[in-house]
Amino acid sequence: MAAAQPTPPGEIRHHGLITLSLMLATIMQVLDTTIANVALPSMRADLGASSDTINWVLTSYIVAAAIVTPLSGWLSERYGRKEVFVTSVAGFVLTSMLCGIAWSLETMVLFRMAQGVFGAAIVPLSQTFLLDINPREKHGQAMAMWGAGIMVGPIIGPTLGGYLTETLNWRWVFYINVPLGAIALAGCMAYLPNMARRLRRFDFIGFAMLGLGVGALQLMLDRGAEVDWFAATEIWIELALALTGFWVFVVWINGVEHPFLDPKMFLDRNFATGLVFIFVVGIVLLASLALLPPMLSVIFGYPVMTTGLVMAPRGVGTMASMILAGKLVRLVDPRKLVVTGLGLTSVSLWMMTGFSPQMNATPIVLSGLVQGLGLGLVFVPLSTVAFATINPQLRGDATALFSLVRNIGSSIGISAVTVLLTHNVAVNHSELAASLTPERIAALAANGPGLAQQGQGVLWAMLDQLVTVQALMISYVDDFKAMMWVTLAAIPLAALLRKPEAQPPGAAPAAHMD
């Protein structure tokens, strides 16, 4: 059968329906990075898994998606972007259904791995489509719409997952993809334009080495806390494989004639700087999301739904600032928006360093709102500027790499704050406990109403609980402070970004139509 002819840029219609279809597919895929987390305890009982092995439900998806993501650019050029995207959405819906009917841990891990393979291309290709079907002056608005799904999806994922698990059962965290995916699939099949294909030799060694590096790194980050990091031989092996894979990949692509990823893209200053920024955004966004739900649950005793409501203003702030940034990016220097966004994000993290077990939900709501505003202001102009000067021929690979670096940043951020939290809890608990001398304990028993009558065992238990809560709160604050410094350190990098040249209104989209 003959390949479909590419749609000329001037004849691309139904922009609204195309955007809606792409957004539904993107939200569906991004939701699955966090929606299943809260359902793990229920899955463990039904699937007969242990507390250790059930984590493979998450690990298999993350590792498979990470390895296949860089391949999306080559696949879309070789087999057609529309064809690959439609296949990805259809496969993601099918594997979501299979995950919902999984009858054992082995089948669940297999289906989740397949789900990660099909879902890997959805995010980078949706970004490429939106950049290609819109003229440059509308790239900001397009990235605002696209970024809304990328940023808000992980925020609402745990709340939605908790609600579905409590009201129905854990299988619905996967079944929810079916209606969303069906609508997205119908829209994509009907309205996505055909893009030209480009015969391009497949660099198997380059892909294999990058896949080895990414896969080993993701396994190390995901399994580290479970096996006590570098106390386990497994982590050392994964680290060695990751370093070997990345090293050979870098050397290989700089010496081979047709590399898997063209190293010329890294010579584009905006894109290279954008990769650093999106790495930081990945750290702050998902690391803070990983910290807040357990903090609200353990220290404040919030149920899942209350936690979702308290964190909802973060998503509201993100949506609002993205809509605003989509309009401002044409009027204001994007670099100023990036700096403002990072500044607001730093302020929000500084506000979070003032958290205490005695506070109400107001500081959490306010800091979340400010952080959402900041991240939204960073994401839209960054996504616009990063691709403003890169060769359109490299855009497919560039968006794949952009998504990969964001995901790696998220994984590293989550692992780093988890390690820091675990270490600081032990240190803080020891220091606080050491300050409880017999004299102070006697004074507390004498001054506390009814404490003297409780007995020494009860008193010690109460003191240990108080010390544990305080040690945990201090450790969370230390994590927020560390993320604040990471965010502040990224601000000077904005000086490396170049303001994109203005494009005449009504100019054709930048799609590359060979």
Using an 8 Å Cβ cutoff, are 76 and 396 in contact? yes
Domain span at 381: 264-501
User: How many Å apart are CA 135 and CA 276, to the nearest integer?
Assistant: 26
pLDDT for position 264: 86
Residues 6+ apart with CB under 8 A from 505: 135, 137
pLDDT for position 509: 43
| Residues 187 and 233 reside in one and the same domain | no
Using an 8 Å Cβ cutoff, are 43 and 92 in contact? no
| Residues 53 and 184 reside in one and the same domain | yes
Which of 48-57, 111-120, 381-390, 483-492 is predicted least confidently?
A: 48-57
User: How many Å apart are CA 26 and CA 20, to the nearest integer?
Assistant: 10
Question: Does 10 have pLDDT greater than 60?
Answer: no
CATH of the domain at 493: 1.20.1250.20
User: How many Å apart are CA 4 and CA 485, to the nearest integer?
Assistant: 51
User: How many Å apart are CA 344 and CA 321, to the nearest integer?
Assistant: 11
Confidence of residue 114 (pLDDT cuts 50, 70, 90): very high
Percent of the chain with pLDDT over 70: 89
pLDDT for position 513: 36
| Residues 247 and 269 reside in one and the same domain | no
Strand boundaries in 362-512, DSSP class E: none
Domain endpoint, select from 153, 171, 199: 199
Angle value at C-alpha 370, between 369 and 372, nearest 5 degrees: 65
User: How many Å apart are CA 238 and CA 302, to the nearest integer?
Assistant: 37
Using an 8 Å Cβ cutoff, are 118 and 98 in contact? no
Q: What is the mean pLDDT of residues 476-483?
A: 91
Q: Is residue 510 included in any domain, yes or no? A: no
| Residues 321 and 394 reside in one and the same domain | yes
| Residues 358 and 483 reside in one and the same domain | yes
pLDDT for position 128: 85
Give 302 or 236, the one with higher predicted confidence: 236
| Domains of the chain: total | 3
Rg (the chain; Cα; Å): 24
| Residues 246 and 291 reside in one and the same domain | no
Residue 341 CA neighbour count, 13 Å, CB half: 34
Domain endpoint, select from 213, 239, 259: 259
Question: Does 507 have pLDDT greater than 50?
Answer: no
Confidence of residue 511 (pLDDT cuts 50, 70, 90): very low
Tokens encoding 223: 């399994």
| Closest CA relative to residue 329, chosen from 145, 128, 125 | 145
| Residues 175 and 292 reside in one and the same domain | no
Q: What is the mean pLDDT of residues 103-114?
A: 90
Domain endpoint, select from 218, 241, 259: 259
| Closest CA relative to residue 399, chosen from 115, 70, 149 | 70
